[in-house]
Structure 1
């Protein structure tokens, strides 16, 4: 039986505010049943089981950067996998201060952890296996799966994009980034590129109810995020087969509008991400 690889969209919205029907940013790359989660927005554990996956199959967690919509449930995800009977270590990758964040999470939740350990569970601290990512290159290689990182452009936050390869199949997840050569190179020849996308003409919709000044937000997006049209450019330059538009801002915009913006610059397959969507690779 050959290797299977599947992309599962766990959360497709962008930004920290909860949205009806759109969960916070998270994706799963499933290789022969092993789950590699990239980003851990709020509710990621529930999204995993809603997708029909098992928390006990969690193999690794990769955090692109430390904005709350991407890391809110980092500790909780491994914690929940442990309560579901995951005893083997889960490799956790991300930029500093990843190790101290996990240590603080364990300290903060000691009342719960200590009680559960007193009932005979193995130590939760031993399930977390943190690795701080400080630069580009291979970060994980085991069981026929190689995961590589590239430095993304998301000032002022250190941020990484990740590529998962196995037996000639590949998925790249951009995380948050402006259009940059590093992500193009990481994505070169990939089967699927999951790339953030926003619509510059519709940022005011995203701002509804926010306490952020619109002009400052526009400036931030211009230097730290990628429009749907530029996501198409990245996909075209990298020669990917399928572009998945994800981390959608604003989430209210139609699939047709997002796809049309990306199609100005990319003539391959374009998918607009939806929560719990499954995409074979």
Structure 2
């Protein structure tokens, strides 16, 4: 979709048994923002997000979670571990990574600094753990 203000590009992404699911990129004269949507790892994200200004990527943490292995496996067919999101942002050459739809399965909830450190693995740009109603300027 494209009009005078924005071009929107969508690609399919894998989200376990749910189909179809999409990632979206919005390009304007001010810059670009790419949303991963709910997805496990896919080459479609770095391709869609190539040189995006902001990559908003969902993330999950299952490390230290004592839940059943079958459920953990199911969750990982639908989501990307926060420890691997930095590599996705790096492959995309994204200028900024924002974590969204954060799924923390460990109790007590891990601090933001831990999520940020994990997301920086393999990525050298700025990382933000997103929060509701947060605003970013392009």
CA contact (8 A) 1:194 1:244 kept: yes
Give the direction of change, closer, same or farther, for the CA distance of 1:141–1:264 in structure 2 (3 Å limit): same
1:263 alignment counterpart: 120
| RMSD of aligned residue pairs (Cα, Å) | 1.5
Cα shift at 1:230 = 1.3
89, 104, 107: which one aligns with 1:235:
89
> 1:203 deviation in Å?
3.9
Distance in 2 between residues matched to 1:250 and 1:170, nearest whole Å: 28
More helix by share: 1
Decide whether the 8 Å contact of 1:203 with 1:249 is kept in 2: no
User: 1:196·1:247 contact (CA, 8 Å) conserved in 2?
Assistant: yes
Q: Contact between 1:153 and 1:224, CA under 8 Å: does it hold in 2?
A: yes
TM-score, normalised via structure 1 length:
0.46
What per-residue deviation string (whole Å, max 9, x for no partner) do you get for residues 158-197 of structure 1?
A: 2100000011510001111111101110000000000011
Instruction: Give 4+ residue runs of structure 1 displaced > 2 Å after superposition.
Output: none
Which residue does the alignment assign to 1:155?
A: 16
Rounded Cα–Cα distance in structure 1 between residues aligned with 2:25 and 2:37: 11
Conserved? CA contact 1:162–1:174, under 8 Å: yes
* SS of alignment partner, residue 256 of structure 1: helix
1:222 positional shift: 2.1
The equivalent of 1:94 in structure 2 is none
> Is the contact made by 2:84 and 2:121 (CA closer than 8 Å) also made in structure 1?
no
Supply the distance in 2 between the matched residues of 1:232 and 1:153 (Cα, whole angstroms).
19
Find 1:172's aligned residue among 26, 31, 34.
34
Q: What's 1:218 paired with?
A: 72
Aligned partners of 1:162, 1:188: CA distance in 2, in Å?
12
- Larger RCO, structures 1/2 (Cα 8 Å, 6+ apart): 2
For 1:241 and 1:203, the matched residues in 2 are separated by 31
Take 2:88 and 2:120, find their aligned partners in 1: how far apart are those partners? 12
Per the TM alignment, residue 143 of structure 1 is displaced from its structure 2 partner at its CA by 2.8
The structure with the largest alpha-carbon Rg is 1
Stretches of structure 2 lacking an aligned partner (at least 5 in a row): none
How many residues align structurally? Answer: 134
User: d(CA) in 1 for partners of 2:131 and 2:32?
Assistant: 20
**CA gap 1:188/1:200 in 2 versus in 1, 3 angstroms:** same
